[in-house]
Amino acid sequence: MVRSPRATLSAAVAQPRSLELAALIVLVAAVCSVGFLMTPVGRLAALDQEVRQLESVGTVVTDEVYSRLRTLQPYRPAISAGIIIVGWPVMWALAAVVLRAAGNRGARQASLAQVYTVVVHASSIFALRAIVVTPLNYARESLGGATSLGMLLPGFGESTFAARLLGVVDIFALWWIVLVATGLGILYRTRTFSVVRWLVGAYATGVAALALTQALRGGI
């Protein structure tokens, strides 16, 4: 998927098989996540992330709340693994259903297995992301944002809307969109750019709404 995505996706949609690859993706991601969260650095980073998330929605983190969060930390690796192993395949299935419904409105029809195969093969870059992000998170002693555009374009103030927007946009998510669009373009015999434009538009709407919500909660 990194060196020759079009050839790989062409072969995948011709003979849709995704179970083994899906299992490998979730295994790699789960191992990386659990491995990091079992380290002292990972536990502290997870606790800090939970505190920041609560504060971002206006919750006052009292000593009692902080103590409760600390008691939940031993379960965080198992929770993270469960979310990846169970949640990712479910999300792939939902994405495949939505994309197939949109794509099959045209003249060419595709099976759910073919679209699901495209989604899973594109998601292989999230296994690569897990491998890249884990040492970065350890070095940063933090969770989240290691592969965001905000890390590449740090010139904005941390509390500005632009910084929040760039912090939400993940480079690997954009890569995934391009790969999915490539696969759908092959499957439905349409221009990849047209699919990219549609998917990026949907993604941009979502991240802009999230960034705006964070900015408003931050008092901007």
pLDDT on residue 220: 46
Question: Domain containing 164: what range?
Answer: 5-217
Lowest-pLDDT range, 53-62, 177-186, 196-205? 53-62
pLDDT on residue 155: 56
Rounded to an integer, what distance in angstroms lies between the CA atom of residue 89 and that of residue 94? 9
CB atoms within 10 A of CB 12: 22
What percentage of residues in the chain have a pLDDT greater than 70? 85
What global pTM score does this model have? 0.85
Rounded to an integer, what distance in angstroms lies between the CA atom of residue 64 and that of residue 191? 56
Domains: count for the chain: 1
Strand partners, 170: 148
pLDDT digits (tens, 9 = 90+) for 25-52: 999 999 999 999 999 999 999 999 888 8
Lowest-pLDDT range, 11-25, 36-50, 140-154, 183-197? 140-154
Lowest-pLDDT range, 21-35, 49-63, 87-101, 200-214? 200-214
